[in-house]
Structures are given as C-alpha cells and as structure tokens.
Structure 1
Amino acid sequence: MPTVLGLTNKSAGPGSGPHVSSSTTMGSNARLDTISKRNYASAREMETLLWRALCDEPETLKEYLAHDCIMINPLFAGTGLPLNKDTHPNVVEALQSGGRRLTGFRFHGDPLVVEVDLMAVALVYKISVFRHSRKGIREIVASASSTWRQTAGADWLLVALHVAYADDEEG
C-alpha cells in the first residue's frame, strides 16, 4: 500500500524483483534502513569519489571540500605542513596540482568508519597510490584519515584529510 512519500509498506514477495528505494545501496540489495548504515555507506563512497577525483578529475575536487577543510598530505604538498584555505598553497591548490600525477589507487581492505555525530563520520585506512615514473609505474603506500560532515542539503563535505607514508610491507 503506498504511503504519503510514495513508498510501500508492503513487503516484496519472492520473484517480485530486487528491492528498490532510497535506502538501498547501489548495485546490491543490502538495506540501508538506518541513518547509521547510510552514514557508513556514504563515508566509504565519498572517500572513493575523492580519490577517483584526485586521479581522474582534480578540477572537480572543490565540490567535495568544505570551505574550512584542513589537510596534511605529503603526496601532494611535499612539505607535509598543515594546509587550509589561507596557506600557500591552499588545500585546493595542493590537491589539484598533485592529483594529475596519480594514475590510480587501491584501498587495502575496507576503510574503517566511525560516526563522529549524526551528520559526521571519520575514516582510517591504508591506501596505495600509483604514479608514472621514469622506471614505470610506482606504487606509494600510505595511511590516511579523513573526516566528513553532512550539510543540511545532505551533501557530504571533506573537512580534514591526513595522509602519511607507510611501510611497503603489509602487516
């Protein structure tokens, strides 16, 4: 039976096709029926979109960044000094200039996520980024941590990113 929002409260029976609603993950039937589950899924999705933009379209990065975003990222700003909107280079400049040199990335397992608040999440993970060098493709292993907050319009914005070189050995 339809509800006011156009959703049904009738369960789909076998053979009725996959469950489709705004509370379903893309490409799977896993239900994201709580705010917490949606926050966890969004955190992982936004982190992937951030790194994909760093590799493929650095000019689009501004749409993912909060105006007050802070960062330490020696992969893009070689000094490893903290950056914000007032430093030189600022966060956007550092990410956009360094992003063109990346050819790909790979998370080592799933990023770990914790809810900071109802509308904020933090992630920690190990990542490999790949760059072309004179000797071919070079893999750089790093550990990373990021914090995202959700706006009133339901967009997620990066507020902090910390990247540090890691040992090449898994363990």
Structure 2
Amino acid sequence: MPTILGLTNEKSPHAGRGNSPHVSSSTTMGSNARLDTISKRNHAAAREMETLLWRALCDEPETLREYLAHDCIMINPLLAPDGSSEPLSKDTRPGVVDVLQAAAAGRKLAGFRIHGQPLVVEVDLMAVALVYKISLFRQGRKGQQEIVASASSTWRQTAGADWLLVAFHVQYADEEEEEEEEEER
C-alpha cells in the first residue's frame, strides 16, 4: 500500500522471479544506496542540485533561471563583473540573474571540480545548506587557469518538489594558508 511519501511496503510483482531486486522510490539519485528517509533524500538532492548549478554555469547559462528562487541572494566575487564582494539580490543593480548569466556567457568556465563531499545540513524539512571547496577552471591566454574557492549554498524545496537556490556565497580560498599548513606537517 503506497504511503504519503510514495513508498510502499508491498512486495514487487517481480519478487521471486530470478534476481530482480525490489525497486522503490527509496533507491534513487543514480546509486544503489537506499535513500529511505527524508533526510537522506534531502542530502542527496542538495549535492545533485549543486552539481546541476555548476554545470549550468559552465555549459548552459541560459538554464540558470530554473535553479534560482525569485528572492535569491548572492555574494560571488569570482563571477561579479568587477570582482565585487557586494551582496546581490533581485533588487540590486546588477541583480543575481544578471551577474550569473553575464559571467557564464562572458568569462566562460571550462569546468569545475568539487573537492570531496560537500557538507550538508538540513535547515528545515524542506531546506538544506551546503559548504564545500571547489576548483573552477577557465581557459586563458596562458592555458587553463585553476581558481580554488570555498562555496556555500542554501536550497529550498517548493510544494511541487523542485529545489531552488535561495543563497549562494563563493569566495577565493586562501591558498597561502593551506600551503603553510602542509609545510608544517
């Protein structure tokens, strides 16, 4: 019998026929890991949405609006036209959408790599926040340039189950500090 969350406790109609595993909505996100709690699904969705956001920034800047809440706020000197760390919103000039689309179209990112697993925390039943370190790659006159940054995002789930970005903060990582720590080890 299906539940409110769409999960079922009924046996698969294919049960007992060969090695066909029982498949339910609790196994998702491209892995065999059971996402059998709301928390696990939220954590997996947050990581997936973050990847989709960066892919859009690199490959399809015109799709960025799909991921942004109408009230999204941002600080991102890596993408701001003048390297500004000024907070942006829908009411600022330029606005969040303007900066993201101009940066993605103008100073095209060649790729990105998220270092390790982003740390995820549930803000609420339908909201999550992530923090992580990322490398962004740009093709320049001297070849490919790597920019290492720290990033933080907050996502909110809508009643229609879509995840929307509500806050985005990216800042250059302090590489000198990391090099000093490695030398001390």
Query: Fold-level match, TM-score > 0.5?
Result: yes
Structure 1: state its 5+ residue gaps: none
**1:43 partner amino acid:** A
State the match for 1:9 in structure 2.
10
**2:113 partner amino acid:** R
How much does 1:20 deviate? 2.5
Instruction: Answer 1 or 2: which has greater helix percent.
Output: 2
State the match for 1:144 in structure 2.
151
Separation in 1, partners of 2:164, 2:11: 35
5 Å-filtered alignment, 1:10-159, equals 10=11, 16-77=19-80, 78-100=83-105, 101-159=108-166
| TM-score where L is the length of structure 1 | 0.91
Greater mean deviation of Cα atoms: 97-106 or 9-18 = 9-18
How much does 1:150 deviate? 0.4
Relative to structure 1, is the Cα distance of residues 81 and 31 closer, same or farther in structure 2, using a 3 angstrom cutoff? Answer: same
Aligned length: 169
Separation in 2, partners of 1:151, 1:112: 22
Question: Percent of pairs identical after alignment?
Answer: 77
RMSD over aligned Cα atoms: 2.0
Separation in 1, partners of 2:77, 2:17: 52
**2:30 partner amino acid:** G
Deviation digits for residues 117-144 of structure 1, max 9, x if unmatched?
0000000000000001110010000000
How much does 1:6 deviate? 9.0
Structure 2: state its 5+ residue gaps: none
How much does 1:23 deviate? 1.9
